Homo-oligomer: A and B are copies of this chain.
Amino acid sequence: MKELIAKYREKGFKLTPQRLAILKFLNGNTSHPTAEDIYSNIKKIYPTVSFATVYNTLQTLKDKNEILEITIDPQKKHYDPNIKPHHHIICIECNTIGDIFEDYSEALRLPDYIAMEFKPVGSHVDFYGLCIKCQKKERRKRQ
């Protein structure tokens, strides 16, 4: 907590209680929350917090490279405080997102022809699957 405050103060963040609550919620969070998830969590502590604050804070954090915006879910954006390069797997039933810590960069060579069209700057692998919960539900349904 102390370190969190120190870290963000160093980076020139103005540390309001709402922001701190958001930072605290995100810190070490591996659940890939949506803006709504963050909002409803913060609202428990600061009932008057607004969506604008959540979105503004997320934008600031994106700008300062403190979080990643994840686009694997077609319904909505998810946010990830883990900015170390990694990949994701999403459950095609319930949209739960899991982390994949593997370095595929060596294998993900682009074909030569693409250099005429794009200068690559990064990559990310979306895996699709069924989470255990949804596997169990499927099995139940089948019987």
Quickly give the copy total for this chain.
Answer: 2
Known contacts being A120-B129, A128-B121, A129-B121, is A73 close to B74, with CB within 8 Å? no
B-chain residues with CB within 8 Å of residue A116 when the two chains form the complex: 132
Flag the segment in A4-12, A16-24, A96-104 that touches B. Answer: A96-104
**Is A108 an interface position by the 8 A CB rule?**
yes
Per the bound structure, the CA–CA distance linking A131 and B116 in Å amounts to: 9
B-chain residues with CB within 8 Å of residue A110 when the two chains form the complex: 89, 100, 102, 127
Residue pair A130, B124 in contact (C-beta under 8 Å): no
**Is A119 an interface position by the 8 A CB rule?**
yes
Which 6 pairs from chain A and chain B are nearest by CB?
A107-B107, A118-B129, A120-B129, A122-B128, A123-B127, A71-B74
